[in-house]
Homo-oligomer: A and B are copies of this chain.
């Protein structure tokens, strides 16, 4: 079955408390040299049918309404990984 990855990130103008917490924790744990961190989401979906244009268009709609909150998040990428196992 074709696998698709949907990448969702907080919009640039939105404060990202999870990312800020990670960025603050890194130097405390000995990892220096990281200027900023933003945390988003990655969804891996398996499609029942082929990953054709119509399926990806429907998936984009689902990604923009259900997988992300369009007020605070952007769907930054939809990546078709091809046929899975």
* Nearest opposing residue in chain B for A50, CB measure: B33
- 17 A-B pairs within 8 Å (CB atoms) are namely A1-B35, A7-B42, A9-B42, A26-B66, A31-B58, A31-B61, A31-B62, A31-B66, A33-B49, A34-B45, A34-B62, A36-B45, A37-B46, A39-B41, A39-B43, A40-B43, A42-B42
Q: Which residues of A contact B (CB under 8 A)?
A: 1, 7-9, 19, 22, 25-26, 29, 31, 33-49, 55, 58-59, 61-62, 65-67
Q: How far is the CA of A23 from the CA of B19 in the complex (A)?
A: 26
Q: How far is the CA of A38 from the CA of B47 in the complex (A)?
A: 12
Count of identical protomers in the assembly:
2
Cβ distance A44 to chain B, nearest Cβ, rounded Å: 5
